[in-house]
Structure 1
Amino acid sequence: MAESKPPRSAARRRDLLVFASVGVAAILLARGGSWVLDRAGRDLNFIEVDDPPGFRRLSLIGTTSSAFDPFVGMETTDENPVNNLTVSDEAFCEALFGQNNFQPGVVPVAFFSDYNCPNCELITEDLLEMEAGGRLHLRYHEWPILGSSSGVFARAAIAARRQGAQREFNRRLQRTSFAPSDAYLRGLAESAGIDPERLLVDMGSEATTQELRTSATLVRRFAFPGTPALVVGRTIVIGTIRTATLKSLIAAERIEGPPPGC
């Protein structure tokens, strides 16, 4: 009868199998990580656009929430209808990004969103994280196209920014399921430490209306079909974008610098 192998030999074989399994897992993980990076790099394919000059579009198009006429609810009675509003080339970068000059390595980003847009909050979190890291300058553009509550929330966010509380308002408004009543907005203002009466006054001001018109004019210039929409440096991004792709795009734009005239 054959003599059985000692326990020490069996334990050694198990150790070798475990070691081999770990090695295989490490290789698969490395290949998977490489695939993610390669995929993110392949996502950065661009399509040149004729207008605005100096810009390009990311070839990938993500999911958007359907847009209607961006000027709905902002009609005027003067001789020039809002559909004919334009932004001059000299004022284009400031209208789009909120300023003209940027520190080296800081990428200007314009974010067009609606508080009823289901995918906008995810992009907001990515952008805020990158902004906190000093990699980008973020300019919000309220584009209320998904119902009457969107228009009220957009005006509230713009008014809150005039008191330095836009970030706080953005987070709260994106998470709310309440109707945007005056009472609710007053409570929101108080919890954010700003003047609720001033908030309501600023919401109905001509300055707020003009800001919405400017954002809507930019929407038409870039021909966005819906929210979310981004302009990252010189790159137009339509719809949702994966975090890895957004980070790769930010890195590329940091190297290339701001768009012409910015």
Structure 2
Amino acid sequence: MPTRRALLSLAGAAAVLPLAGLAQDRPNPMPEDLRRALERDRTAPVLGNPQGNVTLTEFFDYNCGHCRTMLPRISELVRSDPQLRVVYREWPVFGPGSDFAARASLAALPTGKYWQFHAGLLGLRGRVEQASVMRVAREVGLDEEALRTGMEGADIERHITMSHMLAEHMGLAGTPTFICGDEAVFGAMTIAELRALVARGRATMGTAS
């Protein structure tokens, strides 16, 4: 079973950002500045309804086998829940190949081909490395030279640095980690478990389904 824990029980979260006032109607509310960093970072890819009434954040790595398993389940969840907003946090923890893939995928975001590229990378067999990343880039019609230039952008560095900071200070165990409401879940999940997590997130935030 996945490991569940309330976010505010994780040591060091306050070191990430100066914290705003806490909500008073929940026993362990997430600080609002931390929630904004997780859910509203302009550098983070968003799937589903951008104006949805609940946000599910996933920390993932392209060399994470369970992250690959979760791709079709997340897609199914989004299709079945028109009010769901999914935020992806690229968190490359499995070496240089993962870091290269994360930077390349974020560089593809302005081209409109992020999702094709994202799915292609998670669909690779074996380890994701520089050569396989660029092969997938060509397959989905990305300009390799432009992609390499884009990978050096300040927003990409900011996104990856913030992912590491957030993960470290919340004490995340690894990828994939899903965060919704005031709860984090580590590990692969079934569709039923994902839906239950989102339902608890909606209940926590007081939003309708």
Coarse TM-score class (shorter-chain normalised): 0.7 to 0.9
CA distance, structure 2, for counterparts of residue 128 and residue 87 of structure 1: 31
CA distance, structure 1, for counterparts of residue 3 and residue 137 of structure 2: 43
Q: Which amino acid aligns with 1:87?
A: L
CA distance, structure 2, for counterparts of residue 88 and residue 241 of structure 1: 32
Partner of 2:34: 92
CA contact (8 A) 2:16 2:165 kept: yes
Matched, 1:146 2:94: yes
The one of 174, 177, 196 aligned to 1:229: 177
Instruction: Classify 1:196/1:107 alpha carbon distance in 2 versus 1 (closer, same or farther; 3 Å).
Output: same
Partner of 1:126: 73
CA distance, structure 2, for counterparts of residue 144 and residue 44 of structure 1: 21
The one of 149, 173, 195 aligned to 2:121: 173
Matched, 1:210 2:140: no
CA contact (8 A) 2:2 2:188 kept: no
Partner of 1:116: 63
Instruction: Classify 1:186/1:179 alpha carbon distance in 2 versus 1 (closer, same or farther; 3 Å).
Output: closer
Deviation of the 1:51 alpha carbon: 4.8
Give identity over the alignment, percent. 25
Partner of 2:23: none
Instruction: Classify 1:115/1:48 alpha carbon distance in 2 versus 1 (closer, same or farther; 3 Å).
Output: closer
C-alpha RMSD of matched pairs (Å): 3.2
| 1:10-89 equivalent positions in 2, closer than 5 A | 47-51=5-9, 86-89=16-19
How many pairs align? 183
CA contact (8 A) 1:111 1:229 kept: yes
Partner of 1:198: 146
TM-score, with length taken from structure 1: 0.59
CA contact (8 A) 1:115 1:153 kept: yes
Deviation of the 1:44 alpha carbon: 11
Gaps spanning 5+ residues in structure 2: where? 21-32, 43-49
CA contact (8 A) 1:44 1:249 kept: no
149-158 or 133-142, larger mean C-alpha shift? 133-142
CA contact (8 A) 2:7 2:182 kept: no
Measured against aligned partners, the alpha-carbon deviations of 1:71-114 in whole angstroms (never above 9, x if no partner) come to xxxxxxxxxxxxxx8334364333211369x756x320110111
Q: Which amino acid aligns with 1:250?
A: V
CA contact (8 A) 1:153 1:180 kept: yes
Instruction: Classify 1:46/1:172 alpha carbon distance in 2 versus 1 (closer, same or farther; 3 Å).
Output: closer
Q: Which has the larger radius of gyration?
A: 1
Partner of 2:167: 219
Q: Which amino acid aligns with 2:121?
A: L
Deviation of the 1:247 alpha carbon: 1.3
TM-score, with length taken from structure 2: 0.73
Gaps spanning 5+ residues in structure 1: where? 1-42, 56-84
Partner of 2:195: 247
CA contact (8 A) 1:190 1:196 kept: yes
Matched, 1:107 2:107: no
Deviation of the 1:170 alpha carbon: 1.3
